[in-house]
Amino acid sequence: MDGSSRIGTGWSDLPQELVEKIASCLDTETDVLRFRAICSSWRSWTVPSKTFPCTPLKLPLFGSSHRRLEGPYFSLTERTVYRVQLPESTEPRFWVVKTERSRDGKLRILNPVSNHQVKIMPETQLPKLLNTLDFRVSEVCKGYDLRYVDPAHSKRHDEYDYGYAKKVVVTGDVKNDEYVIMALDINYKLWYIKSGDEKWTVASDKWKSFGPLVDVVNHKGHIYVTDRYGGTWVFDSMFEFTNITDVVGCNVPNCQLVELYNGELFLVEEVPGYPNRVGICYIYDGADDGYQYRCNRSSVRKVGVEIRISRIDKQSKKWVDAKTVGNHIIFLGDDCSFSVPAEEFEGCKGTRFFYPNFYFCFGTEEEKPQHYDCDSDDGYFVCNFVPSDEVKLKFRGLNGHNTGVCDFATGKTGSLLMFPEYAHIFWPPPSWLSRS
Per-residue model confidence (pLDDT) at position 221: 83
Please give the Cα distance from 113 to 360 (Å, whole number).
15
196 and 63 part of one domain: yes
201 and 312 part of one domain: yes
Per-residue model confidence (pLDDT) at position 206: 63
94 and 37 part of one domain: no
265 and 335 part of one domain: yes
Q: Is 308 helix (H, G, I), strand (E, B) or coil?
A: strand
Please give the Cα distance from 43 to 107 (Å, whole number).
25
Per-residue model confidence (pLDDT) at position 294: 38
147 and 37 part of one domain: no
Q: Rg of the chain's alpha carbons, rounded to an integer? A: 24
246 inside domain = yes
Domain residue limits at 14: 9-45
266 and 382 part of one domain: yes
157 inside domain = yes
Per-residue model confidence (pLDDT) at position 363: 42
283 and 355 part of one domain: yes
297 inside domain = yes
Give helix then strand counts, H and E, for the chain.
5, 26
Residue 223: strand pairing partners: 218, 235
244 and 298 part of one domain: yes
325 and 261 part of one domain: yes
Distances (CA, A) of 426 to 22, 170, 420: 32, 25, 11
pLDDT tens over the chain, length 436 residues: 455 545 556 777 788 888 888 887 776 777 777 777 777 787 777 777 655 555 578 899 998 866 555 688 888 888 999 888 877 666 667 888 898 887 667 788 888 888 888 887 776 777 777 776 777 888 888 999 998 888 777 665 566 666 788 899 998 877 777 888 999 998 888 999 998 888 898 886 666 655 788 899 998 888 999 888 888 888 877 777 777 777 665 566 678 899 887 788 888 887 765 443 433 333 333 344 433 333 333 333 344 567 888 888 878 888 888 877 778 889 998 899 999 888 877 777 778 888 886 544 444 343 444 433 333 333 344 455 567 778 777 777 776 667 888 888 787 877 787 887 777 787 777 777 765 5
Give this prediction's pTM: 0.76
Please give the Cα distance from 148 to 224 (Å, whole number).
25
Closest listed residue to residue 82, CA positions, set 404, 425, 407: 425
53 inside domain = no
3 inside domain = no
15 inside domain = yes
* Range list of β-strands (E), 186-219: 190-194, 201-202, 213-219
52 inside domain = no
50 inside domain = no
183 and 121 part of one domain: yes
169 and 234 part of one domain: yes
Q: Is 19 helix (H, G, I), strand (E, B) or coil?
A: helix
- Long-range contacts from 66-69, C-beta under 8 angstroms, 24+ separation: 67/198, 68/198
Per-residue model confidence (pLDDT) at position 248: 60
35 and 142 part of one domain: no
Domain count, the chain: 2
